[in-house]
Structure 1
């Protein structure tokens, strides 16, 4: 991976990006900044949010208090986004960077803390000379985008009067709150008073993925976090996530990630 394919910097001063720069940008804003201007449209007093900025647009970032870090600006080349691991994500360059509106995601407090930790690790890795640095960076980017897809408020990028989009939003909220209780699409469809078939149709139209994949990705988000950032046993994690047995949890995890939970934990601690 070349040095100019990924760049990250703290938001401590005004930044200008021209469409000629040919990089995608992810702007994570923790503390309030004066604003961000995209194609001459100014968004004022933004905080606790992520902007995904297409490389075809011109944008300006107006920092907050001088010398105070207000977040991170992550710039990615097209080559990075075409990496096989990232291209498999539901939240990819097609969804994020090729939309008619600029995606702005509001983060929940818990995800905000994790987002900051991931970006800090990317910043640290880019300045290091560690072996396998490229794989580690892609893994961190993958985790970052998965968190965005699983936890961000999709109402920020949908039309309020779009009935199917509202159903999808409600579905994602229900999954977030009840994932331990049920892993079945039918459970959520019944709570929305619609059929499983229609729920899947809505999710396919709005997000271009299946309704089941939302449940799977939410389970993967939580299991990855527990394996990486807690000392809970795999057995404890499996029951915490609503799996009937640790063996079934291991089967689910390996089927969807290619590695078993113990391998994931070992790679995170190495």
Structure 2
């Protein structure tokens, strides 16, 4: 992390003169003005609707830690082999983002998301081959199949994530870019926290433990099917990047976004407090 320090020193920031600071008013006035601008921007349908869609997408659970534990305890993968999978995942993500930029960025987003979500849901079922050890009957080693499977899934996930990242950066109006971008990404992270909690609840509900993976296939199947629930949400996204210029507004939509953000934060705090209390007991 210290490697970032030299690059931070390159940043140039022009100091604000006393006259400019006086013209901007007090800190309280500036906060009120910035909040008013951000609230007005958040009310726009071009902002709150995609933000809700991003939140919902981020809430979708996955097999997550259950699959990692399966790799370690059932398939016997070492830390080195898991690191290979992580490297392949990173490279595959970069490949997916490059493919989107090169081949898919001009496509209609509604059709694009619908197709990629369906493909992603189908590919999310491929770990079942490892769970039932079908690859061994085909003469494919567990690690080789896991690497190939993870590469394909991560390319697809990147094809889903890339337009969402572009959308987050695009929907932020001029003047409040940084504040609104931070808000939208916070909503996205709140959704990710909910997804992690839902995954943990599902793992517990299916009785999946460190050495019991009898129902792991059911968890994988359910998580794959839950991805399809994003299909009815797709109309909340713009059909193309240029469509985000809509001027329609809704206070209720903006309020819902803020409510979800607050609930997500309290959910995260509640989960953390519960885990700490459980560990201490």
The alignment's TM-score, normalised by the length of structure 1, stands at 0.26
| Greater C-alpha Rg | 2
Q: Which has the higher contact order (CA 8 A, sep 6+)?
A: 2
Greater percentage in strand: 1
Greater percentage in helix: 2
The alignment's TM-score, normalised by the length of structure 2, stands at 0.25
